[in-house]
């Protein structure tokens, strides 16, 4: 089983990936849902970090620091940094932002490694729907130093059009911000896993395909 197939099974076992009928924040009615709030244990977050690290390695992303946008990105970046060291012997730094600048103690906007000019940073996020989180953190990072954002890693690329666009949030990130977004898996990988009975739920494939027919962005292929 490939690491992508293992990850899809992991999503299902953790209850993060669900099938049914769900109203998304966008107002769309989707046949599947991803809820990162279902990661609740040390074992789960350790395993998740290993999948992020594998994606970084597979895509050849140059990285010195992993950045996790507050709040959900914080444990993701830390677990990925641990996995980078344990699995690949790469001792990368980690960093995350505060929602509000701290004016006492050590102060500042960032916790962990402080951004420096020329530093190669990879952003760690769970999913990317509108790209709002990326638009919020880029000015913070680029305002702190002349950093090099070498990529962003997310768990699942939904491959659907962002609201008011023909492109997905992943495609917009590259076109508008020059940030390469890599996903551990895509919705196409999930469809394939369902069809191969790697996870239960083959009966949901027609609904997912119909949803992508309506809302899917053009990825080619």
The total of structural domains in the chain comes to 1
Interval 197-214 mean pLDDT: 97
Phi-psi region of 24 (alpha: psi -120 to 50; beta: other; left: phi over 0): beta
Interval 21-38 mean pLDDT: 92
Q: Is pLDDT of 130 > 90? A: no
Interval 32-58 mean pLDDT: 96
Structure tokens at 98: 């505060």
- Please give the model's pTM, rounded to 2 decimal places: 0.93
Residue 182 inside a domain? The answer is: yes
Q: Is pLDDT of 60 > 90? A: yes
Residue 202 inside a domain? The answer is: yes
Predicted pLDDT of residue 9: 98
Predicted pLDDT of residue 103: 57
Residue 16 inside a domain? The answer is: yes
Residue 221 inside a domain? The answer is: no
Beta-carbon contacts of residue 17 (< 8 Å; ≥ 6 apart) = 8, 11, 32, 33, 34, 190, 199
Mean pLDDT (the chain, rounded) = 93
The domain containing residue 103 runs over which residues?
3-215
Predicted pLDDT of residue 108: 74
pLDDT per position as a tens digit, 4-17? 999 999 999 999 99
Residue 183 inside a domain? The answer is: yes
Tell the residue number behind the tokens 């849902």, with chain if given.
33
Q: Is pLDDT of 28 > 70? A: yes
204 is catalytic: no
Residue 100 inside a domain? The answer is: yes
Q: Is pLDDT of 105 > 70? A: no
Catalytic residue from among 40, 102, 132, 135: 102
Predicted pLDDT of residue 163: 84
Q: Is pLDDT of 220 > 60? A: yes
Percent of the chain with pLDDT over 70: 95
Residue 65 inside a domain? The answer is: yes
104 is catalytic: yes
Catalytic residue from among 104, 120, 132, 161: 104
Percent of the chain with pLDDT over 90: 81
Q: What is the CATH number of the domain that holds 167?
A: 3.40.50.2020
Which residues are registered as beta bridge partners of 215?
Answer: none
Residue 220 inside a domain? The answer is: no
């Amino acid at each position: 089983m490939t690491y992508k197939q293992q990850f899809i099974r992991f999503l299902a076992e953790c209850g993060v990936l669900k099938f049914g009928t769900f109203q998304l924040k966008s107002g769309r009615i989707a046949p599947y849902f991803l809820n990162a709030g279902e990661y609740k244990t040390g074992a789960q977050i350790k395993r998740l970090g290993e999948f992020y690290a594998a994606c970084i390695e597979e895509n050849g992303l140059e990285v010195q620091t992993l950045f996790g946008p507050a709040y959900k990105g914080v444990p993701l970046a830390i677990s990925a940094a641990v996995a980078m060291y344990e699995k690949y012997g790469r001792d990368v730094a980690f960093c995350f932002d505060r929602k509000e600048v701290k004016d006492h103690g050590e102060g500042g906007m960032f916790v962990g490694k402080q951004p420096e000019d020329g530093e190669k940073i990879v952003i760690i996020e769970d999913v990317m729907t509108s790209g709002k989180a990326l638009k919020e953190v880029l000015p913070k990072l680029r305002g702190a130093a002349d950093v090099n954002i070498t990529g962003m890693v997310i768990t699942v690329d939904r491959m659907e059009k962002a609201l008011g666009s023909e492109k997905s949030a992943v495609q917009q990130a590259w076109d508008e911000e020059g940030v390469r977004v890599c996903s551990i898996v895509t919705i196409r990988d999930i469809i394939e896993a369902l069809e191969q009975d790697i996870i239960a739920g083959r009966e949901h494939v027609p609904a997912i395909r119909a949803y992508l027919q309506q809302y899917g962005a053009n990825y080619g292929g």
